[in-house]
Structure 1
Amino acid sequence: MKKAFTLMLLASSLSFTAQAQEHPVTQAQVQNYPEEYLNVVVYGNTLRKKLEVQLDAGEGESPKNYIRDADGKKREFASVVAVMNYLNTQGWEFVEYTPDSDGKHDYRRFLMKRHVAM
């Protein structure tokens, strides 16, 4: 299971790399844009087979930091890749995945970043 998930993350990170290369940015441009980071925690909902996503952009984890739809309801995703694709449309890039060290948790945690224009 962990190997399949790791392969899935690797494949999606490669697609993010391919997408990023479509719009080349010079090194000088990158240095002018500070980066912001986002800690993403994906929780499984075993009753509905859907995933909920909690975000931490430096304020700390809080129930109000879930990805929500236009009506304010928690947005649910079918897979971790769907979460990553959604965040990619918001300008976020995958940085790293933090594996569950003991295999007892039902969440996945990863780090995203994006450049912020000054």
Structure 2
Amino acid sequence: MDEKQQEIIMGLIINGGNAKGEAFEAIKAAKEGDFETADEKLKSADEFMAQAHNAQTGMLTAEANGDHAEVNLLMVHAQDHIMNAITFRDLAGELVDLYRKLATKQ
């Protein structure tokens, strides 16, 4: 694996982890009734996910152009981080909405 590919993979892991962390912070803020912060955290999570998505798109484009990437455990780990972050972000959005709905009924 060359240094450029390793940097891309580490970027995927970092951005996926940051997106998941921000989504978790959004849930915590919503639970406390701070929906402005929750919305900001979800937006931040989306920004981290966009960075990860752009890196993935670059890798997919290179692959489609015949520049085959070496698939190794680190690459699998990075993709796992991204998949978990996407799922967690989606769930966080639903939980923030649920807390918002509950707050309006109280």
On whether the aligned pair clears a TM of 0.5, the verdict is no
Q: TM-score, normalised by structure 2?
A: 0.32
User: Which of these two proteins has the greater Rg computed from alpha carbons?
Assistant: 2
User: Which fold has the larger relative contact order, with Cα–Cα distance below 8 Å and residues 6 or more apart in sequence?
Assistant: 2
Q: TM-score, normalised by structure 1?
A: 0.29
- The structure that is helix-richer by fraction is 2
